[in-house]
Amino acid sequence: MPHIVIHLSGQPDAQLTRKVVDRVTELTRTVLDKKLPVIAITVQYIAADAWFVGGQSLAELGKSAFHLDISISDETNTKAEKARYLHEVYDAMAALRGNLHEVSYIHVIDVRATAYGYGGRTQEYRHQQAGV
């Protein structure tokens, strides 16, 4: 796991989507030590005139933005790993997006292993079956 949802401001752009997915996947693997076969990512675009920060649209501000939610099993990463992930994802997005607004959020969602899973099995079940 994890499941990652990324919102990007602007119009859909297949090349940007691929670059963002590749970079976020790599950071999720290297910083959070998540396994590639179970990293799932969805990307959605929000028009700049429909995304507001401080009461002004990104179109009015001439800025871009992103929002990233990542759900991971609780207690599988340290505070330091999560802090590094936030920093590196923000820097990566700033490199990929022009004029990135600082108010671009990243939310690492720690989910209890008994309340989260895929393939019809919880992460707690997988943990118990692994004998760890």
pLDDT score recorded for residue 128: 84
* pTM, two decimal places: 0.92
CB 58 within 8 A of CB 51: yes
> What is the CATH code for 3-130?
3.30.429.10
| Cα–Cα distance for residue pair 93/23, rounded to 1 Å | 9
The pLDDT tens digits along the chain (132 residues) read 799 999 999 999 999 999 999 999 999 999 999 999 999 999 999 999 999 999 999 999 999 999 999 999 999 999 999 999 999 999 999 999 989 999 999 999 999 988 888 889 888 888 888 875
